[in-house]
Amino acid sequence: VILVLFGPPGCGKGTQSSRLASEINGQVLSTGDLFRQRIAQSDPLAQKLRAILSAGELVSDELVIQMLLPEIHRVQAAEQHVILDGFPRTLVQAQSLDQAGNVSPNHVIVFDVPDDEIVDRITGRLVHPQSGRVYHQRFNPPKKPQIDDVTGQKLVQREDDQPQTVKRRIATYHQNTQPIINYYQEQNTIISQIDGTGPVNQVTDRLMQVIHSSR
Ligand code: AP5
């Protein structure tokens, strides 16, 4: 099964996708994480990606697809469910996935969170870069301040989590969303809308309800 977690930046896709993965024998493929891992290599492509991400702009559709498809195939070969986090972000990406054959999403889950709450969430976010684990200084704090619960390593703030960049990312999301939703409606893909506000556990419960009722 291929699930898409869809929603504005900071709506909780990363937080919820890792919980979902452990519930359903799935693997999360976050395009944002893929790019951040690639940036660590510090070659010309890494430099280009770093500039795009820190400006809050989108990576080209071609490059996204080129990097993501082998990852989807890898998870499918391991006979695990694929959980896409942050993909597709444009109509072209959604169409390209279908054209690639045997990798069309079965279920698209859309998280609704108002824009002003998103800014609060993103500016307090802390991440563990090695694993992609996500915390929030107030809403979802680690057991020890600034330290990852599992490895004891230091948590960091993402470079693109500056208020101005966040506003640009939110605007881009609103610009691209409707054509993607319309497209999946035309394809008769299951689409579920989830209220992404409230405590993290409550959102997880809503997500699990939607997943179980679609099976
Ligand atoms: P990406 O990494 O995908 O970022 P994003 O979509 O902007 O989403 P975020 O990671 O910011 O948020 P999230 O929804 O995962 O929320 P989280 O769980 O962390 O993309 C980064 C960049 O990469 C893009 O800007 C673009 O440049 C590029 N890119 C990626 N994919 C691309 C693509 N397909 N095409 C082109 N370019 C692409 O939660 C946020 C915070 O809120 C955390 O601190 C968390 O602890 C807290 N929180 C979570 N849930 C709750 C809750 N219920 N209540 C209170 N706080 C909560």
Other CB atoms within 10 A of residue 19 CB: 17
Residues of the chain above pLDDT 90, percent: 93
Q: Is the CB of 203 under 6 A from ligand 1?
A: yes
Place of tokens 């993607």: 180
Q: Whose CA is nearest to atom 41 of ligand 1?
A: 121
Q: Which of 203, 209, 145, 190 is nearest to 18 (CA)?
A: 203
pLDDT at 129: 87
Peptide bond into 70 cis (omega under 30): no
pLDDT band at 98 (very low <50, low <70, confident <90, very high): very high
164-206, pLDDT tens digit by residue? 899 999 999 999 999 999 999 999 999 999 999 999 999 999 9
129 CA to centre of ligand 1 in angstroms: 13
Q: What is the mean pLDDT of residues 112-130?
A: 93
Q: Whose CA is nearest to atom 29 of ligand 1?
A: 32
Top pLDDT among 77 and 40 is at 77
pLDDT band at 112 (very low <50, low <70, confident <90, very high): very high
pLDDT at 93: 98
pLDDT band at 130 (very low <50, low <70, confident <90, very high): confident
- Ligand 1: residue of 71, 84, 89, 172 to mutate (most ligand atoms within 8 A of CB) is 89
- Ligand 1: residue of 30, 57, 83, 136 to mutate (most ligand atoms within 8 A of CB) is 136
pLDDT at 42: 83
85 CA to centre of ligand 1 in angstroms: 8
215 pLDDT higher than 80: no
Average pLDDT value for the chain: 95
132 pLDDT higher than 90: no
190 CA to centre of ligand 1 in angstroms: 22
Task: Name the least confident of 3-12, 79-88, 129-138.
Answer: 129-138
Q: Which of 100, 106, 83, 121 is nearest to 200 (CA)?
A: 121
36 CA to centre of ligand 1 in angstroms: 12
146 with 159: CB under 8 angstroms?
no
Q: Is the CB of 206 under 6 A from ligand 1?
A: no
28 with 21: CB under 8 angstroms?
yes
Q: Whose CA is nearest to atom 12 of ligand 1?
A: 10
137-158, pLDDT tens digit by residue? 999 999 999 999 999 999 999 9
13 CA to centre of ligand 1 in angstroms: 6
17-47, pLDDT tens digit by residue? 999 999 999 999 999 999 999 998 989 999 9
pLDDT band at 214 (very low <50, low <70, confident <90, very high): confident
Q: Is the CB of 58 under 6 A from ligand 1?
A: yes
Q: What is the mean pLDDT of residues 64-77?
A: 97
